Chains A and B, each alone.
Chain A
Amino acid sequence: MVLAIEVRGLVKIYPGGIKALNGVDLDVDEGIIYALLGPNGAGKTTLIRIITTQLRQTDGYVKVFGHDTSTQGSNVRSLIGYVPQEMSLWSDLTGYENMLIYSKIYGIPSNSRKKIIEELLEFMDLREASNRMVRIYSGGMIRRLEIAIALMHRPRLLVLDEPTIGLDPAARRLVWGKITEYCKEYNMTIFFATHYMDEADRYANYIALMNRGIIIARGKPEELKQNVEGDRITLKLSSIDDNISILNIFSEIEGITILKTDGDTIEFSTSNVSYTLPKILEKLFQNNLKIYEIKIHEATLDDVFIKLTGRRLSEEEYGRYREAITMRKMIRRGS
């Protein structure tokens, strides 16, 4: 079966000398939702812009359904729908007009134009708002309209660059609800970039972790998380007279690794919380130890990222906040 996206040895050096991609290989099977997860500046947008034929690579190649992006660009363009990171609507036109203009640019035949637009507006819950100016749309409405526009020509591959950046959790859920619903119905492949790990975890079938222009890990979300020690548990206990005896108690339990003891607190990891925790509780109870507090931290993709790079995925909370502000400003400013 031909791959939806095949990336081999991809290198991109920008004119200023910045090496944004440093040898990327990717295989995206048809029909899946594939996430490209990485912090700001990892090279996600650069990779997406090469896949969507906007940029030329310095080395390597990309094929979309077997078509080379640098020699068969127009074939590739007719197969993909794309939503850029920045807003791509005319804010001084209505939602309907935006769809109409793009449908003409995309060469949708005039006899089916109206039907396609109305169906997609309905599907995205935008029918009521369709005669309002995009200028007054919320961020979530803007993204839904952009996705609707990207779907008008029935692409086999939908490429989304940070589809929910700057949106609140409810808007993010709605956007993703629509995407997955559509995907199921039409068996479309989705390739999206994000720096929200929870989003990749929840919606993707397959994830590639990206950092500084290379893919550092890839796999199904569960597989990736199995790479780290597993779930972490922190217990705060009643008076501990003798640390060693506590350690003794814990060392008798199978399947745990003690990470840290600090006064009356002990932190350990286990591959299966639901199975080990009852055993531990029983043991502590037998030894007349009281528990004041239990904290369970299930393994996340962030842990995977920390393990591989020593950095948090979402370290720059400030940067993220700023991006959201910029996005909203851009939307307001219009063109």
Chain B
Amino acid sequence: MYKQYKNAILSILAMIEMELRRLRHDPLEIIARAIQPILWITVFGVVMARVRVFLSIGDYITFITPGVILQSSTFIALAYGISLVFERDLGILKKLITSPIPRSSIVIGRILAGGIRASTQYIIVLISAIAVGAKIVSNPINLLLGYALLVYGCMGFTSLSMILAITMKTRERFMGIIGAITMPLFFASNALYPIDIMPGAIKYFAIVNPLTYIVDILRKLLIYNSCEVFNDIIVVTIFVACTTVVAIKILNKIVE
């Protein structure tokens, strides 16, 4: 029993290592994906701060930094699912399910790998935000905790992406759906403005949008130097757990 857990954990670590090695060989995607958030902060953020649209918010650049981190990480996480579907067409998935590790650890390993890939945006966006004057806490515990919780949240979006990739079946349809949901997820959340100024329907969507809670976590940890993130973590956990369970179920079905 103990040995089984150990093997499952080692195989999950191996999949994370695989992802990190891939990143090292080809960091281009990450760099290319960093351009947009940098523009959000250095152009949109700076301009909006100057026109002072949201009076309730003190420093706008600082305010949107966590939101922009999430926007760009979620993009990557949501695009990640396609790689698993490619592996179904290729033999990797077939090979993995004949290895001695449990099937669930294949999914968990890949989800975690996707979360880590997505969270690379954390550092890039934080540095560019600080460069244009965002005031981010320097407490290393908060910074690390923020990173870990970002990976955690992105795991949910990676699972979601795998579920979509599997049910959409073709690459084109998958890309279409992903394109259609990423922007609304971003705009209908507290990433760019506080929830209370939103109109009714959008407000409700923002409240059930898991992105909102991850942004909230980062805002508390990185800006307000507060660790009252327990409630947010519960919501994010529900999101991650549900999507992961569905992804495991669906994976079992597609290999049949």
Contacts and interface: CB of A to CB of B under 8 A. Distances in A.
Interface of A: 15, 49, 52-56, 74, 77-78, 80, 82-90, 92-93, 97, 101-102, 104-107, 133, 330, 333, 335
Given A49-B94, A86-B91, A104-B13, A93 B18 contact: yes
A330 B98 contact: no
Given A88-B92, A133-B25, A77 B256 contact: no
Contact of B89 (A83, A105, A330): A330
A85 B91 contact: yes
Contacts of A52: 98
A41 to B, nearest CB: 18
B91 A77 contact: no
Contacts of A105: 11, 14-15, 96, 99, 101
A28 B33 CA distance: 53
B17 A104 contact: yes
Interface in B2-23: 7, 10-11, 13-15, 17-18, 21-22
A137 to B, nearest CB: 14
Contacts, number: 85
Contacts of B90: 86-88, 330, 335
B100 A80 contact: no
Contacts of B15: 101, 105
Contact of B91 (A87, A102, A104, A133): A87
Given A53-B98, A55-B256, A107-B7, A101 B14 contact: yes
A97 B20 CA distance: 11
B17 A92 contact: no
Nearest to A333: B86
Given A80-B98, A105-B14, 4 more contacts: A74-B100, A90-B22, A101-B21, A104-B11
A80 B95 CA distance: 11
Contacts of B87: 335
Contact of B10 (A83, A88, A92, A107): A107
17 contacts: A15-B256, A55-B256, A82-B95, A86-B89, A86-B94, A88-B92, A93-B18, A93-B21, A93-B25, A101-B14, A101-B15, A101-B17, A104-B10, A104-B14, A105-B14, A107-B7, A107-B10
B26 A92 contact: yes
Contacts of A80: 98
A53 B14 CA distance: 22
B25 A54 contact: no
B97 interface: yes
B255 interface: yes
Nearest to B255: A54
A13 to B, nearest CB: 12
A90 B18 contact: yes
Contacts of A93: 18, 21-22, 25
Given A78-B100, A104-B10, A54 B92 contact: no
Contact of A54 (B11, B18, B26, B98): B98
Nearest to A326: B89
A15 B253 CA distance: 11
B14 A82 contact: no
Interface string B204-245: 000000000000000000000000000000000000000000
A245 to B, nearest CB: 62
B94 A92 contact: no
Nearest to B6: A107
A86 B90 CA distance: 5
Interface string B74-92: 0000000001001101111
Nearest to B101: A105
A105 B95 CA distance: 11
Contact of A92 (B25, B91, B97, B101): B25
A15 B21 CA distance: 38
Nearest to B256: A55
Contacts of A84: 91, 94-95
Contact of A335 (B7, B17, B92, B94): B92
Contact of A106 (B26, B97, B99): B99
Contact of A88 (B21, B25, B95): B95
Contacts of A104: 10-11, 13-14, 17
A90 B17 CA distance: 13
Q: Which of A74, A90, A333 has the most CB of B within 10 A?
A: A90
Interface in B188-214: none
Nearest to A110: B10
A54 B17 contact: no
Contacts of A107: 7, 10-11, 100-101
A65 to B, nearest CB: 15
